[in-house]
Structure formats: C-alpha cells, structure tokens
C-alpha cells in the first residue's frame, strides 16, 4: 500500500470514529501532509458567498477569525465554481489568499508559489474547499487528479460526519436543559450576532444564552465597558421564539430625564408643550418582540416604578393618558454598574433589580479570555482589510504576544479600535494588494501588559493617577475624576465643550460628575471653573 492509499484509508477510518469535528479535520490535514509536500493546508466551509476556515496547518492563527468572500478571492472562487480539483500554475496571475500568512514565511518576503484546491462535496453540492500551499513552485506537479477527487470526497464526508455528530451533541444538551427548566425544544438559532471565541469563559456565555433564549425570562447582562453586552443581548433575541419580531434598542444613558418616560411608554397629544401628536413608546413598538435597555442603571428613579409595572403586569400607560395598554415584550437589560450596590445605596429599586435580574449573564473581560485574542484579532483585521481595500494582513509573533499580554481595560472594543489604527500605520507605503505585516511598532505602545505601580497620566496634565494598591474599579473611578476635572478646567468651566472633548452628552457628563462626587469650587459669589471631589 503506497502513501496515498494509506492516507485515504486513514481518512475513511476516521469517518467511523466518534471524534469532535475539530479533531476529525485536524487528523484529515495530518493525513494530507503525509502525502502532499505542502507548507500550509486548510479546510474552509462554504457559508453563503463566504468561505470560513475551520481547520488549518502552517498558517497564522488569526486566519481562523477571517472570512474569505468568493468575489475577493478568485482562486477559491474558481474551485467552488468549477466543482473539481484545481492545480494552479506557479505563474498564475490570480492572487493567493494566503500570501504573507504562511508561518514558514513570517517576513512575507516571498509569495506562495504552489497552490491546489479541492472542492468538498455533499452529493453534487460544494460545501467547502480543501487547500494546500507550498513555497516550492513544482511541489504538486506529480499528484494525480484521481487522488485529489477521492481526497475531496472523503474530506466532504468528514465535514458532513462532523456536522452530524455536532448536531446530535447539541440536541442532547438542549433536551437536557429543556427537561430541567420545563421548556419546549429549542428552535435552531439563526444568528442575531456572532460571538467569537473558544475559551471556556465565552463557551459558558454561549451556553447561558442557549439556555435562557427559549424562555421569556428577563435577562440582565453585566460586564465592563466594551465586552460585548449588546452582542449578547442580540444573540438572546436571535435564538428566541421572538426572533421574527423586532428587537428595539434603547440607550438609557442617552435619554434626558425629562423625556425618558415618553420614550419608553409614549405620550398623547397635548401631554406636554411639544407633544403635538400621539406617539408610541418603545414598549409599544417592541410588542411581540424584545426590548433591549442598554445602560439600565442610568434610569432615573421617577421612571423605575413604571418600568417595574410593565415587567410585572405587562401594562404601560402613555404620558397624559388614563388608559392602560397591554404589551407582550421580553426585556433584556445591560449595565456596567454594580446594581446590587446601587440598590444598597438607594439609587435603584430593589424590586426592579430582582425583576430584571431574573436570569443574569455576566460577560467576562478580555483579560479573562486571552486565548481568544488571536481569533478576535484575525476577525477585526479582516474587517479592516475589506474596509480599506488592502491585501493580506498578518501579525508578527511579537505583535501577537503583545496583544495577548495586554491589560485591555476597554476590552474587545479597545482591541478593535487599536487594530484599526495599527492597520493604518502598517499599510502606509505598502503597494496595493501586497501583504501588510503588523509588528509591535505599529501598536505604538498602546497595548501594554499589566505592571504593578503603573501610572495613568492625563493627556495634557502632569497630574497622574497611581494604581498602586488600588483595585481596577477604584482606578477607573479615579481616572474618570481626573479626566473630567481636566476637561472642565481646560475649557474654562464650559461643560458643553468639556463633554465634546470627552465624547459624551453634556447631561450625561453632569450626571457622571455627580455620581463621582465632583462639585464646583466656589469663591465668593462667583463660581471658579474648577471641580473638587466631595468626600
């Protein structure tokens, strides 16, 4: 038995084994490498008009976060469209999707020279692509087309088998959860948002979403700024029986106190000076669907009893009306504040908190799921590559290590924005379509690892907040106080200008300053343009 037959037999035997899909495909790539002298290989699943990597060898790890649109990658498109194995000549003018991303060529000084692709088939339908790449131009010349056909058929069967096992495992887990909470079978999820990551922490979040989605429980999503609370809320709605109905978003922090009640519950004509027509509130618009209350901890006390009644009784009343209305709305709320503490300090109703907190989901900060950073980085790099019309983007090992070790106080949102800036810096001067390599220098020291005694300085001040002996929460509060004080003083006491510099509404800035214990420093009858901390 030659090596090709041995590899095919190994793949066939794996089809009968009870293996996780990732292990099955990894073993398939191992068998492929024993026969084909390749420097890199990948299995990609066809989803709509995109090819999604699900197993790779010899490619940068961030590749798993990328999506390859067929129209942007002509070689992959040729394999899908032809539905047959394709061996591309070394002088092919079509760009290779992995140029600059092979681990054996980290400096991207050479392009991929040998490339082949096999369609993965379910019957006559192409469901994916198997690729192999090598730096040696003639590496694949001796491979028989018959072997490639068999390889593609077995790889397609492996993918199909993996899907079947995963579907059975998901169904088993779902039925166990349904039995525990007396719910009906969960419907298939249609996406509502893509939560990326394979860490235990993010897998726990996915499990919580899957469990609670099919109920009508109120959900309270907690977590630091930038962790993706809105994405979790959208996923809960997208996996629920209400997914065909609207998901209505309300940012409670952005609503002035004078219009919060009208925004949520509506008003009738003449209810107040500017009410020149009847207007439905967000609860009415969301009837039958889901209402997402972001930053729910910012709701003023005057509105909280009416929100509680809407949750308990399913009844709302427009401002100025004496007629209650019934609505069928599932509420998902989110906050980065400690609502238990807010309750203890009298700023949030205890009964409303317990009603919202019927099913809590805590989204972990990025520093607690560091293994997800390469995948997230790959996803964001691919987004910026498309937006900016660039060629392949790749992180150096040093840049990847820097990202993985960083603090990330801004979490996933901070990672997203930092990579966007890094892509702009790294792509300056790179010819169009050529690979762009991102190193530590392009991060400009923005992604920094945790160091005891780190000092955070205001942008134009010599003043600084030392973090020695402080918890993260305490350090964040002190930093907010410093930045608000600096901005107000820098603009001569002009709160509107200070709010613009800080990127927030003036009313929200006043509200935050009060919560942080800041108050104007008065001198005689005039008020000086400065603040002090009210102890």
CATH number at residue 249: 3.40.50.300
CA distance linking residue 313 with residue 309, whole number of Å: 6
Any domain includes 322: yes
Any domain includes 179: no
247-251 and 219-222 beta bridge pairing? unpaired
Q: Are residues 466 and 478 in the same domain?
A: yes
Q: Is 103 exposed, middle or buried (0-12, 13-18, 19+ CB in 10 A)?
A: middle
Q: What is the pLDDT of residues 263-272, one digit of tens each?
A: 899 888 887 8
pLDDT > 70? residue 107: no
Any domain includes 195: no
Q: Is 434 exposed, middle or buried (0-12, 13-18, 19+ CB in 10 A)?
A: middle
Any domain includes 181: no
CA distance linking residue 407 with residue 397, whole number of Å: 18
Q: Are residues 288 and 334 in the same domain?
A: yes
Q: Are residues 522 and 474 in the same domain?
A: yes
Q: Are residues 309 and 278 in the same domain?
A: yes
Q: Are residues 338 and 400 in the same domain?
A: no
pLDDT > 50? residue 152: yes
Q: Is the dihedral of CA 373, 379, 382, 388 positive or negative?
A: negative
Q: What phi and psi, each to the nearest 5 degrees, are found at residue 114?
A: -115, 130
Range of the structural domain that residue 303 is part of: 200-362
Q: Which range has highest mean pLDDT (31-35, 94-98, 148-152, 479-483)? A: 94-98
Q: What phi and psi, each to the nearest 5 degrees, are found at residue 143?
A: -80, 130
Q: Are residues 52 and 34 in the same domain?
A: yes
Q: Which range has highest mean pLDDT (192-196, 211-215, 259-263)? A: 211-215
Q: What is the reported pLDDT for 174?
A: 39
Q: What is the pLDDT of residues 47-96, one digit of tens each?
A: 889 999 988 888 988 898 899 999 999 999 999 999 888 888 888 889 88
Q: Are residues 465 and 414 in the same domain?
A: no
Q: Is the dihedral of CA 255, 257, 259, 262 positive or negative?
A: positive
> pLDDT band at residue 464, thresholds of 50, 70 and 90?
very low
CA distance linking residue 131 with residue 403, whole number of Å: 29
CATH number at residue 471: 1.10.10
Q: What is the pLDDT of residues 484-506, one digit of tens each?
A: 888 887 777 778 778 877 878 77
CB 512 within 8 A of CB 479: no
> pLDDT band at residue 507, thresholds of 50, 70 and 90?
confident
pLDDT > 90? residue 469: no
Domain termination site, one of 362, 390, 413: 362
Q: What is the pLDDT of residues 11-51, one digit of tens each?
A: 554 444 555 555 667 777 877 777 777 888 898 989 889 99
CA distance linking residue 212 with residue 128, whole number of Å: 32
Any domain includes 48: yes
pLDDT > 80? residue 169: no
Q: Are residues 90 and 8 in the same domain?
A: yes
> pLDDT band at residue 1, thresholds of 50, 70 and 90?
very low
Q: What is the reported pLDDT for 175?
A: 41
Closest by CA to 378, choosing from 397, 365, 394, is 394
Domain termination site, one of 362, 395, 412: 362
Any domain includes 417: yes
Secondary structure tally for the chain: helices H, strands E:
18, 19
| Structural tokens at position 412 | 């996933």
Of 199-203, 292-296, 338-342, 527-531, the one with minimum mean pLDDT is 527-531
Of 173-177, 248-252, 299-303, 339-343, the one with minimum mean pLDDT is 173-177
Reduced 3-state DSSP string for 416-449:
HHHHHHHHHHHHCCCCCCCCEEECHHHHCCCCCE
pLDDT > 90? residue 304: yes
Q: Are residues 326 and 398 in the same domain?
A: no
pLDDT > 60? residue 244: yes
Give whole-number Cα distances, 297 to 340, 347, 419, in Å.
Answer: 10, 9, 31
> pLDDT band at residue 7, thresholds of 50, 70 and 90?
low
CB 100 within 8 A of CB 112: no
Q: What is the reported pLDDT for 532?
A: 59
Q: Are residues 11 and 56 in the same domain?
A: yes
Q: What is the pLDDT of residues 219-232, one digit of tens each?
A: 999 999 999 999 99
CATH number at residue 438: 1.10.8.60
Any domain includes 450: no
Q: Are residues 439 and 470 in the same domain?
A: no
Reduced 3-state DSSP string for 8-65:
HHHHHHHHCCCCCHHHHHHHHHHHHHHHCCCCEEEEEEEECCEEEEEEEECECHHHHH
Q: How far apart are the first and last CA of the chain?
A: 82
The total domain count for the chain is 4
Q: Are residues 346 and 206 in the same domain?
A: yes
Chain-wide mean pLDDT for the chain? 80
pLDDT > 90? residue 190: no
For the beta carbon of residue 162, count every other beta carbon within 10 angstroms. Answer: 24
Q: What pTM value is reported for the model?
A: 0.65
Any domain includes 170: no
Q: What letters, b where the CB count within 10 A reaches 16 and e where it falls short, cover 449-471?
A: eeeeeeeeebeeeeeebebeeee
CA distance linking residue 403 with residue 379, whole number of Å: 14
Range 419-444 average pLDDT: 90
Domain termination site, one of 346, 362, 378: 362
Task: Describe the crossing of helices 3-15 and 21-35 by its angle, rounded to 10 degrees.
Answer: 170
């Amino acid at each position: 038995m030659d090596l090709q037959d041995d590899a095919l037999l190994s793949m066939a035997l794996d089809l009968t084994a009870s293996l996780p899909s990732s292990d099955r495909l990894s073993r398939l790539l191992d068998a492929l490498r024993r026969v084909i002298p390749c420097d890199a290989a990948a299995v990609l699943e066809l989803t709509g008009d995109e090819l999604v990597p699900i197993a790779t060898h010899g490619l940068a790890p961030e590749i798993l976060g990328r999506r390859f649109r067929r129209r942007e990658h002509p070689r992959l498109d040729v394999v899908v469209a032809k539905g047959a194995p394709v061996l591309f000549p070394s002088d092919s003018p079509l760009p290779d999707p992995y140029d600059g991303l092979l681990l054996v060529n980290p400096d991207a000084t050479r392009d991929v020279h040998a490339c082949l692709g096999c369609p993965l088939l379910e019957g006559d339908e192409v469901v994916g692509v198997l690729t192999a790449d090598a730096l040696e131009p003639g590496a694949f010349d001796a491979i028989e087309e018959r072997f490639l056909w068999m390889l593609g058929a077995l790889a397609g069967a492996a993918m199909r088998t993996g899907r079947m096992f995963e579907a059975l495992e998901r169904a088993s887990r779902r039925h166990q959860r349904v039995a525990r909470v007396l719910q009906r079978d969960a419907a298939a999820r249609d996406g509502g948002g893509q939560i990326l990551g394979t860490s235990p922490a993010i897998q726990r979040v996915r499990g919580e979403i899957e469990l609670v989605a099919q109920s009508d429980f109120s959900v309270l999503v907690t977590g630091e700024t930038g962790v993706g609370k809105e994405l979790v809320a959208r996923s809960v709605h997208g996996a629920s029986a209400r997914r065909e109905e609207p998901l209505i978003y309300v940012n409670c922090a952005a609503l002035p106190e004078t219009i919060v009640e009208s925004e949520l519950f509506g008003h009738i004509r003449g209810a107040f000076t500017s009410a020149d027509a009847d207007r439905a509130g967000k609860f009415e618009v969301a009837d039958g669907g889901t209402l997402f209350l972001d930053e729910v901890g910012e709701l003023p006390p005057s509105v909280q009893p009416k929100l509680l009644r809407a949750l308990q009784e399913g009844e709302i009343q427009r401002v100025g009306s004496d007629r209650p209305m019934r609505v069928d709305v599932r509420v998902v709320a989110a906050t980065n504040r400690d609502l238990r503490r807010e309750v203890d300090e009298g700023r949030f109703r205890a009964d409303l908190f317990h009603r919202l907190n019927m099913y809590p989901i805590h989204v972990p900060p990025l520093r607690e799921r560091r293994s997800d950073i390469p995948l997230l980085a790959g996803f964001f790099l691919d987004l910026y590559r498309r937006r900016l019309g660039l060629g392949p983007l790749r992180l150096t090992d040093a840049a990847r290590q820097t990202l993985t070790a960083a603090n990330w106080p801004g979490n996933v949102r901070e990672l997203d924005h930092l990579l966007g800036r890094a892509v702009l810096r790294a792509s300056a001067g790179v010819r169009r379509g050529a690979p762009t390599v991102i190193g530590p220098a392009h991060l400009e020291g923005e992604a920094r690892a945790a160091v005891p005694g780190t000092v955070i300085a205001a942008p134009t001040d010599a003043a600084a907040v030392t973090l020695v002996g402080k918890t993260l929460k305490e350090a964040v509060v002190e930093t907010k106080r410093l930045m608000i004080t600096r901005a107000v003083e820098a603009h001569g006491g002009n709160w509107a200008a200070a709010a613009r510099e800080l990127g927030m509404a003036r009313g929200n800035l006043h509200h935050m300053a009060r919560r942080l214990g800041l108050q104007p420093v008065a001198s005689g009858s005039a008020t000086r343009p400065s603040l002090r901390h009210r102890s």
